[in-house]
Amino acid sequence: MALFHRKRTADTGDTTAPATAAVLDADPALAALTGDYTIDPAHSSIGFTVRHAMVTNVRGTFGEYEGALHLDGADPSRSTASLDVTIASIDTGIADRDGHLRSADFFDAEAFPLMTFRSTAAERVAGDRYRITGDLTLRDVTKPLTIDLEFHGAATDVYGAERVGFEGSAEILRSDWGLTWNAALETGGVMVSDKVKLVFDISAVKAAPQA
């Protein structure tokens, strides 16, 4: 997880303008964001989108997860992220479908209760765009995953907690992690696409300094 910060351009004050070399230079103000953060599930969302029956999308979320970030203002490449997601908390809005997804046909939540991510590299791409690479483990299979992120800001909330927010996405082939169940359609094609889009909308709270 690279370090997140919006910086105004020198001439216009526009925060949405494309990044220049000067914007990408180290900024002493970024040091204020350095520290350890805990993902706040009450203000975050982790989910997915997958094509169903070749004509529409099914969207789902995971209701239970824990995650931590370390942001390094002096050297963003040293920032890290970890995430543990409880598979049984999957919710697509249809109980029968959720039960099937928890079964051995798909996630096999009883045998493999967690999906985990551990970062291995981070970089700032340009402006408010970042990229984090790590290991995604699902059904006891570990493969690399790259997540593209956009920073949404940093602020102190009404309770005095320092927060950072960002959203990101990544595309995977579920078959790479052993999720191969499918059914052929009479009109051609299959019931569930192999391609899945993972989506992240994260608010994380900075830990208080230790005495």
Domain boundaries, the chain: 27-206
Q: Which two tokens stand for residue 122?
A: 């981070």
Half-sphere exposure of 199 (CA within 13 A, CB side): 12
Q: Identify the CATH homologous superfamily for domain 27-206.
A: Lipid/polyisoprenoid-binding, YceI-like (2.40.128.110)
Q: pLDDT tens digits for the chain (211 residues)?
A: 334 344 333 344 444 433 323 233 445 656 778 899 999 999 999 999 998 877 889 999 999 999 999 988 777 788 999 999 999 999 999 999 999 999 999 999 999 999 999 999 999 888 788 899 999 999 999 999 999 999 888 899 999 999 999 999 999 999 999 999 988 988 888 889 999 999 999 999 999 876 5
| Distance, CA of 133 to CA of 80 (rounded, Å) | 10
Phi, psi angle pair for 106, to nearest 5°:
-120, -100
